Structures are given as C-alpha cells and as structure tokens.
Structure 1
Amino acid sequence: MRSNTFLSEVARKVTSGAALLLLITGSSITAGCNKKSIAETTPVGERQTGYVNENAQPESTGTNNGYFWSLYREGGSGSITFGNAGNFAISYSNVTDIVGGKGWNPGSARNIGYNVGALSGSYNFVGIYGWTTNPLIEYYVAEMGSVTGGTYINNVSSDGHSYSFYKQQRVNAPSIIGTATFWQYKDTWGGSSTGSNRSVNMTNHINNWRSRGGQGFGSYNYQILALEAWGNKSGYINATVW
C-alpha cells in the first residue's frame, strides 16, 4: 500500500495448501489478496485478516496529484479512480474484503480534512486507516460505519465526538510486511454523513493509543482516508481528503 517499508515482492509458501501470497508495490488500478472464507472464521461484525489461500492476487499502490493511494482486495472485483488533488472513487462488487483510499506516506499526527461526496451500496468502515512499524500496528478511526471487536479500552473525545477505542491482536495475518502477528487499534464514532466537510485531529487518537494501547504506537507508515467492506459486499464511494 505505499512508498513504505513494503517488500517489492514477497513470496510465501503456505504449508496447508502450497499457497502463494504476493505483495507487490505497483501502480495498477485493480488490486487484491485472497484469504480463507470469512464465513468459516469470522466473528460477527468483524473481518478476518488471516488464512491466505491459493487465490492470492497483487495489491496496488501509487501516487496521484501529490497524494499516496492504496487498494487492497480479496475476492470479487474492485477499482480505484482519481480526480483532482485528494479526490478518489472506489467501485467494488461481491468482495470478500476491500480497503482503499488516498492520503499520505508516511502519515503523521496531522489534522485531516475530508468530504464523502457519495456513498452507496454496503460497507463496513469509512475513515482514517493506516499502519506503523516497530511495533507493527494497523489502526482505524471510523467516521462512518464501525470497527469494533477485541478488547474495549476507553473513550476518546475528539472533534466534538466520543470514540470507543478497541484493541485486538491479529495472528499470522496479511500486513504491510507480509504475513505477521500485529495489533489493531480501532476508534469508532460512526456518526459522519455525506456532503459535509469534516476533520479528524489525529493527535488526539495517537496520544491515547500511545498511552493506553499497551504496545505504544511505532514509526509512521502510510495513512489514508479509506473505505473498507467485507463479507461479499458491493458499493461505491467518491470522497476527497486534504
């Protein structure tokens, strides 16, 4: 997903099926990486991020108009297109999991502005999504939809909203460095709407993760305004980040 610490190409043999996972940094517009059936392994309301199978496909990243972008997909179909500055659109159909959007690499404790101009179909999450390394952490700030699961830690007040902070460990799951064990930090508000300029003060979230997350935070990797949908969903988003 970015000009990050990605391996330009990683091949990993999975003993349960001689599966091959390819993580490729590139600029193609469609993307993905398949895993085992969600219905078999996923708790209600939570995506599964492990169990690579033989249908693994490449992931796409790149830059556009001075912004970093990423698109990751498992199953179904999906594509990302770009407008001016931080604008992007993602269309997807019958995806096992898709997460993509536009932002920066590396991220920072910045104040992020965004506007979701259009959102249709079904989805799980729209908000700020990113990674750190040392330690390896996948993080979410849910402005629309939700990301929960794992252990509830506390509430975070930011930008006039109260976010619920959950923490969860993923074991042998796909990550920006290949299959790994890592922590997720997930802040959920979910009350945003389409057509309005909004902002996310990442300093408030990151300070709470550092002090209450238990694993610290790590060095910034990419950070994007993203949509994620899992569980054979289809839909469309057009949004702008700044």
Structure 2
Amino acid sequence: MTDTSPWPRSSRGRIRMLLAAACAAVVAAAGLILAGPAHAEADRTLTSNTTGTHNGYFFSFWKDSGNASMTLRADGRYSSSWDRSTNNWVGGKGWATGSRRTVSYSGTYNPGNNNTYLALYGWTRNPLIEYYVVENFGSYNPSNGATRFGTVTTDGGTYDILRSQRVNQPCIDGDRCTFYQFWSVRQQKRSSGTITTANHFDAWARAGLTLGTNHSYQIMATEGYQSSGSSDITVREGSGGSPTTGPTTGNPGTGNCTATLSAGEQFGDRFNLNVAVSNASNWTVTLNLNGGQSIQNSWNAAVSGTTGSVTARPNGNGNNFGVTIMANGNWTWPTITCQTS
C-alpha cells in the first residue's frame, strides 16, 4: 500500500531503534520501575536524545534537529514545545512494556494547523505490529490512505479502525522490516480522558487485526514533523477487569426485521454481545438493559444511550455490530427488538 503519511520514515526508524535499545535496559531493571523512586525526582529538561525512567515512568525523547525540548515533571507529567526549526521529534512518558492497561491522561495539547499527533503508541512482536490510539492531531489525519475496518465506540467517543503496511522500513528490530500498523483514530479530538486499551485491542481483533504476543514499550506520546506546537500531559495507569467464562444463550429479535444476539468475550465486570441484523439495511435495534447495567462501548453502529432502552442504527459498517455491557452484578442479557427505519 502507498504510504501517505508525512512522517520521514528513516527518522522514525531511529526513534524505534533508540526506544528498543532503551526498553531492553529498562526491562533488565524492572524492579526499579515497579517499585518506583524512593523520592520524587526533580524536574529535568531534555534537549538531546535520551531514554530512561523518571519518577517511576519510562520516558523517551528524540529529535533530528531544531529547538524541540521536553521537561520531565512530577509523576507521569511531561511538557514539551517545538518550533519549525525542528524537522521531526517525538517524546512522552509511559511504560517499558505495553499491556491491556487503562490509561488516564490529562493536560493541554496545542497542535495548531500542523503535522502532529497526541497518541498512545506502542509495538508488539510475534508478529511485529506498530500501533496507535490517536486522541488528537493537527492538520494531518492518519486515516488518510489507510484501509478502514470499521469503528469502535469507547470512553465517550468513536474511533475509526484502520490498518496500513510498511515494507522494508526501519522498525524496533532493524532497518528493513515489513510490518502492519494498527490505528484507532478518535473522531472527536480531545486532550484529556481515559483510554481503555483493551477495548481497542479487542476491536482490532474482531476486525481480524491481531497484535503480537510480546509487547514492547507503550507511551503517551507527542509527535511533530516540520511544525510548531506544545503539550503539557500527565499520564497514569488505571485498572482493568479479568476475563471469565461468557454466557452461552441469547434472545431472538422481534419486529419487521430480525436482530439476533450472540455471546462475545466476558470479563470480571462486563461482557460483550454481538448483534446480527437481517431482512433490512435501514434498521433501528433497541436493547432493553436490565437493572444496574450500562453500555460501556460499542462498535460498527451508531449507539444512543447508556442505560435503560438503548438504540443502535447503521453507521455504514454493515448489519453486524456489538456492545460491551457493564454488568454491575446483573449478568442477564437484555431483551432486543428490531424495526425498519
């Protein structure tokens, strides 16, 4: 596939190799990261390429030229600024090893009309995958030129799911790699919020996009190319649930079209349901949730409401969609109806 990204790949390859080398050293000293610092470290301003840990968080800073800088602050906070003398730079705080963690972040991000991202960014191996959960961006939308695989609605917004491929390009394992990039690009830009990473991983898997089994780093990154801007971001880790056995039976649809429920993955506090609609292409499906339940995220449909009677309508991704329901102790499936629009 032709790559339409404005980022210079040779530069980004150096970023990846720098981060990969740092990750190996950080993993070897994992006890330091897990235990955290014995005392708060002072603010530290970076203007040259380096990686390491600061106040218990993995960090990376890289640039190829110009006046970009990043200041490491308390806990998971960092601030950055760059001007147009900078060709390409990237930096942020996070973790030496990626996982299905819930990531909370807050702060300010000022991209202007420039080529820049604010994204949760990481890699896996076996297979080698580069992934982004893009929360905000400037003039360049990474959806351009990538293959679309639907949407996922989570954490208060809808993300486009996309895939692109790099052939014989630099990566964390060398300078001639062939690998896929997985993208979740938020339609409603924001600079603070929560990223339930597992929901993106699961949405990619439902679309046939499977991450590797060996995670490398995962950081909340600011990146800029031939641009100017600034950010002040604080990142921290939340909590997630544990998978358990899912339900095995469903409820048939009614009305003048048919919507059929089937089981998806179940976790300690929530469960997924898949919905298949037949006999219509313009439909409205109503899910009547049980007491205490709420919709936590959805994919491949426009879903309105979170409790009680929740409606879903087509959003251009076909007649099969899904929802994640927070159980709140109630594991009974909702009743479902379908009407043509």
Q: Check whether TM > 0.5.
A: yes
Shift of 1:42: 6.4
Shift of 1:240: 0.5
Q: Within 5 Å, which residues of 2 pair with 1:147-226?
A: 147-148=142-143, 149-179=145-175, 180-194=177-191, 197-226=192-221
Shift of 1:127: 2.0
Match status 1:136 vs 2:131: no
Shift of 1:175: 1.8
Contact 1:137 1:218 in 2 (8 A): no
Q: Within 5 Å, which residues of 2 pair with 1:1-242?
A: 43=4, 46-50=6-10, 59-94=49-84, 95-119=86-110, 121=112, 122-145=114-137, 146-148=141-143, 149-179=145-175, 180-194=177-191, 197-230=192-225, 232-242=226-236
Separation of aligned partners in 1, 2:100 and 2:142: 21
Shift of 1:147: 2.3
Secondary structure at the aligned position of 2:200 is classed as helix
Q: 1:72 to 1:51 in 2, by over 3 A?
A: closer
Among all aligned residue pairs of Structure 1 and Structure 2, give the percentage whose two residues are the same amino acid.
Answer: 34
Shift of 1:165: 0.9
The aligned amino acid for 1:92 is W
The aligned amino acid for 1:238 is D
Contact 1:96 1:233 in 2 (8 A): yes
Separation of aligned partners in 1, 2:187 and 2:89: 19
Contact 1:138 1:182 in 2 (8 A): yes
Separation of aligned partners in 2, 1:184 and 1:46: 15
Unaligned stretches of 5+ residues in structure 1: 1-40
The aligned amino acid for 2:180 is W
The aligned amino acid for 1:186 is W
Unaligned stretches of 5+ residues in structure 2: 19-48, 237-341
Contact 1:92 1:235 in 2 (8 A): yes
Shift of 1:190: 4.7
TM-score by length of 1: 0.71
Contact 1:105 1:222 in 2 (8 A): yes
Return the structure number with greater relative CO, CA threshold 8 A, min gap 6: 1
Q: Which moved more, 1:103-112 or 1:178-187?
A: 178-187
Shift of 1:186: 1.0
Return the index of the structure with the highest Cα Rg: 2
Query: What is the number of equivalent residue pairs in this alignment?
Result: 195
Shift of 1:155: 0.5
Contact 1:113 1:241 in 2 (8 A): yes
Q: 1:226 to 1:91 in 2, by over 3 A?
A: same
Give the helix-richer structure, 1 or 2. 2
Give the aligned CA root-mean-square deviation in angstroms. Answer: 2.6
Separation of aligned partners in 2, 1:165 and 1:213: 11
